[in-house]
Amino acid sequence: MVGEHFMTGDHACAEGGLAAGCSFFAGYPITPSTEIAERMSERLPQVGGVFIQMEDEIASMNTILGAAWGGWKTMTCTSGPGFSLMMENLGLGLVLETPAVLVNIQRGGPSTGLPTLVGQADMMQARWGSHGDYEVIALCPSSPQELFDLTVRAFNLAEEYRMPVLVMGDESVGHMSEKVVIPPADKLKVVPRNYTKKKPGEYWPYEFGKDEVPEMVKAGDGYRIHVTGLTHDKRGYPIIDAPTQDWMVRHLKNKIIKNRHKIIDVEETNLEDAEVCVVSYGISARVSHRAMELARDAGIKCGMLRLVTAWPFCEEKIRELAQRVKAFVVVEINFGQMSLEVERCACCKCPTYLVPHAGGDIHDPEKVFEAIREAVK
């Protein structure tokens, strides 16, 4: 598939997975992500992989974790209602520290909501949707090309940090057709699984060094591992007490917090002299880009920060910008999710204005432009 294609975002996402070495997909049909599963059902057998359509999204998420412990790179995709069902075993994947990729092509919610129309209201669910304390990595593609690129990156991050990684797309980007360039394999960074070199008896599944990332093994290699969703020690044995809980939860958080500078990715445009900073992601970032151009045409010093990674949040960047801009304008298809993070990190140094949208459509750039104009007044 190397070369230039005119391709939908969903198909580009599937190709990204394949390029990154995904050989196992388990999923359940749900608009607007179904095309990823369809593409995988056609393509995976061609590369010796396995596609399975599960009975629901709970099973899908679980099955990819099982297959990951069998030694394969695995992935699933879904949208709002299915994302809710996957929360249970997203938590299991995070606690078992299992590499996998979960793609959410967001539609309007809550509940069944708007199956065929766009939304971006699962951003906080991505961060907090499974119970308990933990950190996540979530990437936000703004184009079909990025659905390819960021799916590859999601697989790499999953291996680098031994955890499920989220790709938070949206219906507009998923269903949009654009030019997608698939680079040759030697031009693509693909991170292999970090299998331990230790011998059976020397290895523990949750023993880690300074970078907080434990090494992997797979079932059947003679390590006789035990892993559990219960709070566990470095051996993977359940220990039900407060000190072990403290050790494990701190580790799950520190794994991301300590490595955040290697994970966080933002795109800055015209921020050098900016008086107002537009913050956006996914399809909304493209609308915001147009609004920024309108503002610049009107003589407003407007810049833009695009969140390529939503989680971990680019806290330091917002704190730094808050010292020098007059206002933040956050554009997202919800009633304020990532804007809460911007507001928290701006720390009252400057106001944060939200341009909300309930979903079902993308923002009108004129309205975003109006908000920018109001913000600098």
What residue ranges bind other proteins (CB under 8 A)? Answer: 23-24, 26, 44-50, 52, 54-56, 58-60, 62-72, 74, 88-89, 91-92, 96, 218-230, 237-238
Q: Which is nearer to other proteins, 195 or 335 (CB)?
A: 195
Measure the N-to-C terminal CA separation of the chain; round to a whole number of Å: 51
Measured CA to CA, the distance from residue 363 to residue 281 in angstroms comes to 12
Least distance to other proteins, CB of residue 48, Å: 3
Least distance to other proteins, CB of residue 191, Å: 18
Q: Which is nearer to other proteins, 24 or 328 (CB)?
A: 24
Q: Which is nearer to other proteins, 84 or 352 (CB)?
A: 84
Burial class (CB within 10 angstroms; exposed 0-12, middle 13-18, buried 19+) of 38: middle
Least distance to other proteins, CB of residue 228, Å: 4
User: Residue 118 in contact with residue 140, Cβ under 8 Å?
Assistant: no
How many beta carbons lie within 10 A of that of residue 279, not counting itself?
Answer: 29
What 3-state class would DSSP assign to 349? Answer: coil
Least distance to other proteins, CB of residue 233, Å: 11
Q: Which is nearer to other proteins, 156 or 231 (CB)?
A: 231
Q: Which is nearer to other proteins, 70 or 351 (CB)?
A: 70
Render 71-91 in DSSP notation, one character per residue: T-EEEEEE-HHHHHHHHHHHH
Least distance to other proteins, CB of residue 222, Å: 4
The residues, ordered by sequence, that sit 6+ positions from 145 with a Cβ below 8 Å of its Cβ are 12, 178, 179, 180, 181
Give the sign of the dihedral formed by CA 347, CA 122, CA 287, CA 153: positive
Q: Which is nearer to other proteins, 226 or 258 (CB)?
A: 226
What 3-state class would DSSP assign to 172? Answer: helix
Least distance to other proteins, CB of residue 50, Å: 5
Q: Which is nearer to other proteins, 68 or 276 (CB)?
A: 68
Least distance to other proteins, CB of residue 214, Å: 16
Measured CA to CA, the distance from residue 148 to residue 280 in angstroms comes to 20
